[in-house]
Amino acid sequence: MTATFVRHELKAFWRSKNTGKSIAVRVVMGLLILYLLLIVCAIGFNLDKLLLKGGGKTDIVVTYCGIILLYYLSDLFTRLQLQDLPTLRVQPYLQLPVKRNSLVRYLAFTALLSVFNLWPFLLFVPFVLKIVMTDSGGWVALAFTVSIAGLTVFNNYLALYLKRKANINGWVFLIAAAAIILIGLSDFLWHFISIRKFSYLFFGSLIKYPLLAVIPVLLGAVMYYLNFLYLKDNLYLEELGSRKDTKYKSSTEYPFLSRFGSVGDLAANELKLIFRNKRPRSALIMGLFFMFYGLMFYPNPQMNGEGYKVFVSMFMTGIFIINYGQFMYAWQASHFDGLLVSKVKFGEFLRAKYLLFTMVSTVFLLLATPYVYFGWKTLVIEVIMYLWNIGVNTTMVLFFANRNYKRMDLSKGAAFNWEGMSGNQWILSFPLLIAPFIIYVPFAILHQANTGLGILGLVGLVCTFTRGFWIKKLEADFHTKRYTIAEGFRNK
Amino acid sequence: MIEIKNLKKVYNGVIVVNVPDIHIKKGESVGLVGNNGAGKTTLFRVMLDLIRPEAGQVLSNGEDVAGHENWKNYTASYLDEGFLIDYLTPEEYFYFIGGLHQQSRATVDDFLAGLTDFFNGEILKKGKYIRDLSKGNQCKVGVASCLLQNPGLLMLDEPFANIDPSTQFRLKSILKDLNKNKGVTTLISSHDLNHITDVCDRILLMEKGVIIKDIATSSSTLNELEQYFGVGQIASAKTITEE
């Protein structure tokens, strides 16, 4: 059965409207992963020397045992943001004589095929073989390896479980991320817990009692089982359809928007789209998570430079543009035909997008103003990046939107079939992330950082005021692509 | 009103629509019939500039629909649920469509009051989003939004398919009224031969992308159509037994 699923998924991949784009993304991703793997390998094989240098007088085994759990904490954080969720369109199989368990098992097992699960082995196992084996013998080395495997599996499924939950309710993600950040801060900033000591407590004991390796394995198994059960439950949920919610749905109005005429109507519709569908709502709430980026970077003197501030400010004020915009117009895929034949002028349609982006970015800028605590320049940079976002990034995002042909179904259950925050998606937003640095970095190198910032702001401002021109360009571009987009969106 | 010239649409080397020349005059009521895959929906989509034809053009009031948007001012259409914004309530959707045609909310409310019978109490003030409605009720919303636009040209793709018998009869009388009393040009496709011959004055029969018959409806039309579709069945049944 697994082989059939794999075959079907390969077909889905090759026959999708976006195959070209997906392949390009995968190639870039592959190269990036290869590069990272090489680095991790190098670190892994030289870990003993590195620890000797960095650990001072403490025994390297103690330092080693200390960093393992630390690694897993940051690993969890990275996974939450980058790891892909395995997907399979389950609906067509549900009424067929396919065992539910085999469907779920397929989804659960393919989740293990992630590079994230390779890293801990490359990082920690060479040390086990080089040092632990010679010091304490084969059994202890085996216990270490098994523990690492167990923790990896645990982390893998915990991250996926949280992501699946977050998919339905964005707050889950926010709370999980905040919890991880708080744990980190209470060790490194407030010093009232020590993850390293806790980690040594376990791995130190492992040297004396190798049998303790059972604990991480159990943790991994329990997490797997939890995932399995969750997926299985949701198999039923999806089958029952979306008619479960019986609350009275009332009509809403945004009087503020009505002054913009039909552009305002379109923007109001899109706001409703965001608030009434799980996935775009999650995208918005996850945007709030990036408000924490300042807290993660600014208190750290090493990451307080202006280059970091440019980066962080761009995220904080523009995350909605990046995160929501990169799937654009597919949010409206299900009624795109209707939009095309209705009296909506495409120029107005684009104007509504600009209006929406500007509104949301403005709100995020206001939310980010408290960071003035880290110096007035922080606020200036935030405003500059805000201008950049509403001026340049909006236009870039819409340019890419003209090239997105893949349908997205908002009404379907989100737990199984979705694209959200994952490494692949971030690749697509790369151009958006690099662009400001192409302007800023040369000036920073020449010690003219302020000029660089000034130019960023100016470009943003100019682009904002020449929107009419860009809208015309985008409209002309759209008219060459409209049939392909509409056809792609019709492909379920 | 509508002129189709040398229209060709090809998918994977197969011609799915091939219409050399068709005129539809203002005030005509035209029915489009044909088996699955005959190219009815594709023809509709080309006429609404949703698909780019390989050759030929569709003129609406003398202007090519592709690349122009004037036709949107007087054309209302409903092909499938893909035309509805499904996360809105029906009321919100009607206000949106009305707003596009510069109608105030009061005007829209007045208009909807006239459709009470057609809605049969299942659309308005039910506290549901369009996506939570059944297919038939979604079809009612789509048809009503077309009527709301006071169109000069109305295009519906299989409007009778998902709605209940009472609504089918109500829809038929609405369509007749629009055409006979208000001069609206209507273009409707259907698999229901009784309904289509009842509503339309002219029937176009499509087969494999080609319009093979263009008949003015008379008392014998239904019979003629039944024979065409019935004969097809007998012929295919024969080939099966021969194999």
* Mean pLDDT, residues A97-114: 81
Instruction: Check A341 against B77: CB less than 8 A apart.
Output: yes
Task: Quote the minimal CA–CA distance from A276 to chain B in Å.
Answer: 7
From the list A336, A343, A490, the residue facing B72 with the nearest CB is: A343
- Using a CB-CB cut-off of 8 Å, the residues of chain B touching A242 are 131-132
Residue of A248, A337, A411 with shortest CB distance to B83: A337
**Whether complex ipTM tops 0.90:** no
The alpha-carbon gap from B98 to the nearest alpha carbon of chain A, in Å, equals 10
Which of B11, B88, B102, B141 is most worth mutating to test chain A (most A CB atoms within 10 A of its CB)? B88
Q: How many other CB atoms are found less than 10 A from the CB of residue B96?
A: 21
Q: Closest approach of chain A CAs to the CA of B45, in angstroms? A: 9
Q: Please give the residue that has the higher pLDDT: either B31 or B229.
A: B31
Question: CB A341 to CB B75 under 8 A?
Answer: yes
The residue type found at A249 is K
Cβ-based contacts of A262 with chain B (< 8 Å): 99-100
User: Which of these, B31, B30, B21, B23, lies nearest to B2 by C-alpha position?
Assistant: B23
Chain A CA closest to residue B129: A249
A349 touches chain B (CB under 8 A): no
Please report the pLDDT score of residue A78 as a whole number: 86
Q: Which pairs with CB-CB distance under 8 Å and at least 24 residues apart come from B222-227?
A: B222/B193, B222/B194, B222/B197, B225/B33, B225/B193, B225/B197, B226/B193
pLDDT digits (tens, 9 = 90+) for A403-436: 888 887 775 544 444 454 556 666 777 888 888 9
Contacts of A484 (CB under 8 A, 6+ apart): A405
What are A31-68's pLDDT values in tens digits? 888 888 899 899 888 888 888 887 667 788 888 888 89
pLDDT at A240 over 50: no
Please write the tens of the pLDDT for every residue from B146-158: 999 999 999 999 9
Closest-CA residue of chain B to A480: B67
Residue whose tokens read 């009305």: B98
Average pLDDT value for chain A = 84
**Rounded Cα–Cα distance for residues A362 and A318 (Å):** 9
B129 closest CB neighbour out of A276, A337, A479: A276
The pLDDT-based confidence of B234 (bands split at 50, 70, 90) is low
Contact flag A343-B83 (C-beta cutoff 8 Å): no
Which residue in B89, B99, B131 is closest to A251 by CB distance?
B89
pLDDT average, residue stretch A391-397:
92
Check CB contact under 8 Å for B82 and A251. no
The DSSP-derived string for chain B is -EEEEEEEEEETTEEEEEEEEEEE-TT-EEEEE--TTSSHHHHHHHHTTSS--SEEEEEETTEESTT--GGGGTEEEE-SGGGS-TTS-HHHHHHHHHHHTT--HHHHHHHHHTTHHHHTTSSTTS---GGGS-HHHHHHHHHHHHHHT--SEEEEESTTSSS-HHHHHHHHHHHHHHHHHH--EEEEE-S-HHHHHHH-SEEEEEETTEEEEEEE--TTHHHHHHHHHHHHHHHHHHHHHH-
Comparing CA positions, the residue from A245, A307, A297 lying closest to residue A438 is A307
State the smallest CA–CA distance between residue B207 and chain A in angstroms.
Answer: 23
DSSP assignment letter at A290: G
pLDDT digits (tens, 9 = 90+) for B34-73: 999 899 999 999 999 888 899 999 999 999 998 888 898 9
Please list every residue in chain B whose beta carbon sits closer than 8 Å to the beta carbon of residue A248. 127
What number of residues does chain B have?
243
Confidence of residue A238 (pLDDT cuts 50, 70, 90): very low
Cβ separation B84–A338 shorter than 8 A? yes
In A, which residues are within 8 Å of B128 by CB distance? Answer: 249
B243: pLDDT confidence band, cut at 50, 70 and 90? very low
Report yes or no: A341 at the B interface, CB cutoff 8 Å: yes
Minimum-distance CB partner of A335 among B52, B83, B128? B83
Distance CA A151, CA A219 (A): 7
User: Average pLDDT of chain B?
Assistant: 89
Min Cα separation B100/chain A (Å): 6
Q: Looking at the partner chain, which of A248, A276, A344 has a beta carbon nearest the beta carbon of B100?
A: A344
Q: What is the pLDDT of residue B230?
A: 84
Cα–Cα dist A421/A80, whole Å: 8
The β-bridge partners of B22 are: B4
Taking only the tens place, the pLDDT of each residue in A132-148 is: 888 888 899 999 999 99
Q: pTM of the prediction?
A: 0.74
User: Is residue A244 pLDDT above 80, yes or no?
Assistant: no
The band of A223, judged by pLDDT with boundaries at 50, 70 and 90, is very high
Q: Is B52 in Cβ contact with A483 (below 8 Å)? A: yes
pLDDT of residue A241: 40
CA distances from A55 to A60, A64, A67, A120, A187 (A): 7, 9, 11, 20, 17
With beta carbons under 8 A apart, name residues in chain B contacting A281.
Answer: none
Q: Mean of the pLDDT values across residues B80-100?
A: 89
Q: Which pLDDT belongs to residue A416?
A: 44
Among A241-250, A284-293, B196-205, the range scoring the smallest mean pLDDT is A241-250
Q: Is A338 on the interface with B (CB under 8 A)?
A: yes
How many percent of chain B have pLDDT more than 90? 66
DSSP for residue A247: S
Q: Is the pLDDT of residue B240 over 70?
A: no
Nearest to A78 by CA among A250, A261, A234, A296: A296
For chain A, percent of residues with pLDDT exceeding 90: 28
Q: What is the pLDDT of residue A470?
A: 94
CB–CB contact B127 A249 (8 Å):
yes
Give chain B positions within 8 Å (CB) of A490. Answer: 82
Q: What are the tens digits of pLDDT across the range B157-194?
A: 999 999 999 999 999 999 999 999 999 999 999 999 99
